[in-house]
Amino acid sequence: MEVNSKKASESLIQMTELVLPNDTNVFGNLMGGRLMYWMDIAAALSAQKHANAPVVTASVDNISFEAPIKLGNAVYIHAKVTRAFTSSMEVHMEVWGEDLKNQHKYKSNEAYYTFVALNAEGKASPVPQLTPETEKEQRLYEGAIRRRQLRLILGGKMKPNDAAELKALFVNQS
């Protein structure tokens, strides 16, 4: 492990919430905006643990909902840094709902958020590199560079022709 490196497991945040009436829509389901708010908090805590510094949200990737979380159910959010770049970090989250009465746990969704660490002057600050340990952490780590390039292209900060990792997936380079 590099000197200025941290294990992915060191950034793990596990957050639990209870879906109350004020958190739901007219169908008795947790509102997506409320879930995204909770996810942003969990992801920020994870990034802050990794960076040892304050962080700000830089981007939120596509969030697709697999299953609604109902009124009275528990929500479990697991957040962990998947890769660190110069001053930014990608955080992967998995969200689970649980019908506590019937003891049925189910996956609701997953997403990636990106955060930037800030110094005392509010400027981007270097973060420790990340060392994946498990097979899943390694897979997420390796995919993070492609997800980053896609974010940069969609945000207008990178030209598609400069995205070497993405081009390798779609263009025959021989």
CATH number at residue 76: 3.10.129.10
| Cα(54)–Cα(171) distance, integer angstroms | 39
Quick one: pLDDT at residue 168?
A: 62
Q: Classify the C-alpha dihedral 43-49-51-53 as positive or negative.
A: positive
Domain membership of residue 98 (yes or no) is: yes
Counting Cα atoms < 13 Å in the Cβ hemisphere of 159 gives 2
Domain membership of residue 87 (yes or no) is: yes
**Structural domain total, the chain:** 1
- Rounded percentage of the chain residues whose pLDDT exceeds 70: 91
Domain membership of residue 117 (yes or no) is: yes
- pLDDT tens string 46-101: 999 999 999 999 999 878 889 999 999 999 999 999 999 999 999 999 999 999 99
Domain membership of residue 158 (yes or no) is: no
Expressed as residue numbers, the domain containing 117 is 5-132
